Copies of this chain bind each other. A is one copy, B any other.
Amino acid sequence: MNRQDAYSKLCAISKDVTVFSSIGSLLGWDQETMMPEGGTATRADQSAAMSGLVHEKATTAEIGDLLAVCEAEPFADDSVEAANVRELRHDYDRARKLPKAHVEEVARTQTIAQNEWAKARKESNFPHFAPHLEKILTLTRKSAEYYGWPESGEPYDALLEGYEPHTTSADIVAAFVPLREKLTRLIKDVQGAPKSPDGSIHTRTVPRDQQEQFVRFAAKAIGFNFDIGRLDISTHPFCSGIGPGDCRMTTRFHDDNVMDALSSTMHEAGHGIYEQNLNKEAWGTPCGESVSLGIHESQSRGWENTVGRSRAFWEWCLPHAKEIMPEAMADQTVDSVYEAQNIVKPSYIRVEADETTYNLHIMLRFEIERQMIRGEIDINDVPRIWNEKFKDYLGIEVDKDANGCLQDVHWSFGLMGYFPTYTLGNLYCAQFFEAAREAMPDMDDQFRRGEFTPLREWLTANIHAHGRRYPAGELCRRVTGKPLSADPLMRHLEGKIRPIYSI
């Protein structure tokens, strides 16, 4: 078989895998939004069957043979074809590394551990969860061994690779250490600040239908396309790009916090805008897929925070907010909303944390899970270590494990190596937005006029359209001219937070 035929066949198989995988995504979306309560057991059968099928199709030896043909006579370095071959090789090798028996054991253990975690969190009972976490950890370390890591690396790298390909623990440490110091100082300064914004907008009752109208308005305004997307409600907001023309996000509503609904919606809309602007002709190949969790998060955090918590955004948005929610917003000014949206206040729960303290929540998790994977921590010491670090980074005492090391579902699923991508997202985001602002110095004026298309188009041209053509780090260098650094994020936060708090 010649290279061109092998490549075409490879793309056809990849498309087939993608189509089935997209059906799996729909099953997941439906489960969180539409499935009746009683459908759980049937859905478990369906999801297991679909995962098994996708795994089978993604690991067929034919892919290896076709890749070998393509690699024997490599495509031009910078070509789309070369990128697709590189990424398909990456996925294929990784998928083949886990023995089926191990995958099944992980799936079984996860289901139980997730269930037991939910109970443990409810009762704030870490010892109840500990033996399950121990099992998950053992299996996850085994997964890392199956995946393997470069000689210069460590087991954690093998896991990270699954979420943020071509990024290592050392990269994370290099980015996180300077960030932590600067963030801690900023937070300390805030805590000693002479003034503090009025946060009463966060505890004000707004009718559900007004909240929904408002968040739909905002999502549409920033560029989420409802002709090829949906917005529904789920306990934990998420966004699922099913395939071209079909991207579904969810949000949540609290009676007394419309700003939470807005942030959630703009966050998920950011993910959605990425998915909706991938190259749909390339669907089914890596160049038609999002590149990494970190880059994905850079898009969601960008629209949620960099846009949605900016003064310029509120100059445009507030009149609309007042029109849709006249009672609740009557007393608000651009300054009051802007400041309320940028309150810095250490709190227990990651998903409720503000833009500044959020990253410390992540670092803490990264450090602990990395030590766990290295085998340097006794599981039973996790709460103590968590609480010590929490006090150290955020200055508050954890009152109970439900507000500490039991708060997140991730570990019960064996998702170790996942947390750092949240902060990587913030870092990429700040660096991308500095580049965008350089390219469009009048970006704030655009926001003031409610014009978000130029930004969206810049993000599409520079990021979305490439799919996985360039690994995240390389993409960052291409778009911003520099490797990833903590400086842009700190410039962004310092530049916003210090004036608000007069520090």
> Measuring CB to CB, which residues of chain A are less than 8 angstroms from any residue of chain B?
16, 19-20, 22-23, 26-27, 30, 34-43, 45-46, 49-50, 53, 225-230, 242-248, 283
Q: Do A27 and B36 touch across chains, with their CB atoms under 8 A apart?
A: no
Q: How far is the CA of A42 from the CA of B230 in the complex (A)?
A: 15
Of A19, A36, A37, A41, most B-chain CB atoms within 10 Å: A36
> Smallest Cβ distance from A122 to chain B, in angstroms?
22
Q: Do B243 and A45 touch across chains, with their CB atoms under 8 A apart?
A: yes
Of A22, A245, A246, most B-chain CB atoms within 10 Å: A246
> Smallest Cβ distance from A317 to chain B, in angstroms?
25
Top 4 closest A-B pairs, CB basis? A38-B228, A39-B246, A38-B245, A42-B243
> Smallest Cβ distance from A265 to chain B, in angstroms?
16
Instruction: Tell me which of B19, B39, B41, B50 contacts A45 (CB under 8 A).
Output: B19
Q: How far is the CA of A42 from the CA of B278 in the complex (A)?
A: 14
Instruction: Tell me which of B20, B34, B229 contacts A36 (CB under 8 A).
Output: B229
Instruction: Tell me which of B43, B50, B226, B248 contacts A246 (CB under 8 A).
Output: B43
A43: chain B residues at CB < 8 Å are 246
**A284 to chain B: closest residue by CB:** B45
Add 11 more A-B contacts to A19-B49, A22-B42, A46-B243 (CB < 8 A): A19-B45, A22-B46, A23-B49, A26-B46, A34-B34, A36-B227, A36-B228, A36-B245, A36-B246, A39-B242, A39-B245
Q: How far is the CA of A210 from the CA of B217 in the complex (A)?
A: 27
Instruction: Tell me which of B23, B37, B40, B242 contacts A23 (CB under 8 A).
Output: B23
**A43 to chain B: closest residue by CB:** B246
Q: How far is the CA of A46 from the CA of B26 in the complex (A)?
A: 10
With A41-B244, A42-B246 as given contacts, are A230 and B36 in contact (CB-CB < 8 Å)?
A: yes
A20: chain B residues at CB < 8 Å are 49, 53
A26: chain B residues at CB < 8 Å are 26-27, 30, 46
> Smallest Cβ distance from A110 to chain B, in angstroms?
20
With A36-B230, A39-B246 as given contacts, are A30 and B30 in contact (CB-CB < 8 Å)?
A: yes
Q: How far is the CA of A115 from the CA of B347 in the complex (A)?
A: 57
With A23-B23, A26-B27 as given contacts, are A244 and B37 in contact (CB-CB < 8 Å)?
A: no
Q: How far is the CA of A39 from the CA of B22 in the complex (A)?
A: 12
A34: chain B residues at CB < 8 Å are 34, 230
> Smallest Cβ distance from A249 to chain B, in angstroms?
11
**A33 to chain B: closest residue by CB:** B34
Instruction: Tell me which of B22, B42, B50 contacts A242 (CB under 8 A).
Output: B42
Q: Do B30 and A23 touch across chains, with their CB atoms under 8 A apart?
A: no
Q: How far is the CA of A43 from the CA of B225 in the complex (A)?
A: 18
> Smallest Cβ distance from A288 to chain B, in angstroms?
12
**A46 to chain B: closest residue by CB:** B23
Q: How far is the CA of A36 from the CA of B53 in the complex (A)?
A: 26
A50: chain B residues at CB < 8 Å are 23
Q: How far is the CA of A243 from the CA of B39 in the complex (A)?
A: 8
Of A26, A243, A244, A248, most B-chain CB atoms within 10 Å: A26
With A26-B27, A46-B22, A49-B16 as given contacts, are A38 and B242 in contact (CB-CB < 8 Å)?
A: no
A35: chain B residues at CB < 8 Å are 246
Q: How far is the CA of A50 from the CA of B26 in the complex (A)?
A: 13
**A276 to chain B: closest residue by CB:** B38
> Smallest Cβ distance from A465 to chain B, in angstroms?
18
Q: List 22 A-B contacts (CB under 8 A).
A: A16-B49, A19-B49, A20-B49, A23-B27, A26-B26, A26-B27, A26-B46, A34-B230, A36-B227, A36-B245, A36-B247, A38-B225, A38-B228, A38-B244, A38-B245, A39-B242, A39-B243, A42-B242, A42-B244, A42-B246, A42-B283, A53-B53
With A49-B20, A50-B23 as given contacts, are A41 and B245 in contact (CB-CB < 8 Å)?
A: yes
Q: How far is the CA of A39 from the CA of B41 in the complex (A)?
A: 28
A247: chain B residues at CB < 8 Å are 36
> Smallest Cβ distance from A107 to chain B, in angstroms?
16
With A30-B30, A230-B34 as given contacts, are A245 and B40 in contact (CB-CB < 8 Å)?
A: yes
With A16-B49, A34-B34, A36-B229 as given contacts, are A245 and B42 in contact (CB-CB < 8 Å)?
A: yes
> Smallest Cβ distance from A146 to chain B, in angstroms?
27
A16: chain B residues at CB < 8 Å are 49
Q: How far is the CA of A228 from the CA of B283 in the complex (A)?
A: 35
A248: chain B residues at CB < 8 Å are 36
